[in-house]
Amino acid sequence: MKILLIGCGAAGNKAVVNAVEKDVVKEEDTVIVNSTSKDFPSNYNGKTVILSPNDTGCGKEISIARDYAMNAIKQGKFNFENIEDYSTVIFCTSVEGGTGSGATPILAQFFAQYFGRNTHVIAFTGFEEDVRGLQNTVEFFKNL
């Protein structure tokens, strides 16, 4: 079984970079995704996907991140030439709002349905305790 590890949003990207640094996964078997390139970790040299057409962030607005993800799919940004090499795709993300919580449900469904890949989501929660973060967490799991 060969796994493609995808980090979505800042927390997911950090998790993927950490997995590479700890030799859990090879960098060529990873992708990091965000709405803006300024949030990509500087110590990562693997494949990156910028969701925003203008390389701008989405803040905590998960609806904007969902729109960015759907448009990126339509533009072919996830049609990786070697996707058939992977039997499983694992997404790492956070759920309180922003790129990860908005884009991950869309992208996970895409990889499962369009590519027919066994798809899993590792979701980090608990970073924020405000009402908006909790609402975004609930919405994330409803969308997933």
Helix, strand or coil for residue 117?
Answer: coil
d(Cα 61, Cα 58) in Å, to the nearest integer?
6
pLDDT in tens, 23-78: 999 999 999 999 989 889 888 999 999 999 888 877 778 889 999 999 999 999 99
Nearest to 48 by CA among 78, 26, 89: 78
* Average model confidence (pLDDT) across the chain: 89
Q: pLDDT tens for residues 70-125? A: 999 999 999 988 999 999 999 999 887 789 989 999 999 999 999 999 999 998 87
The pTM for the full model equals 0.90
99-113 helix and 9-21 helix, angle to the nearest 10 degrees: 70
The strand pairing partners of 50, in sequence order, are 34
**Interacting residues of 48 by C-beta distance below 8 A, sequence separation 6+:** 31, 32, 33, 34, 37, 40
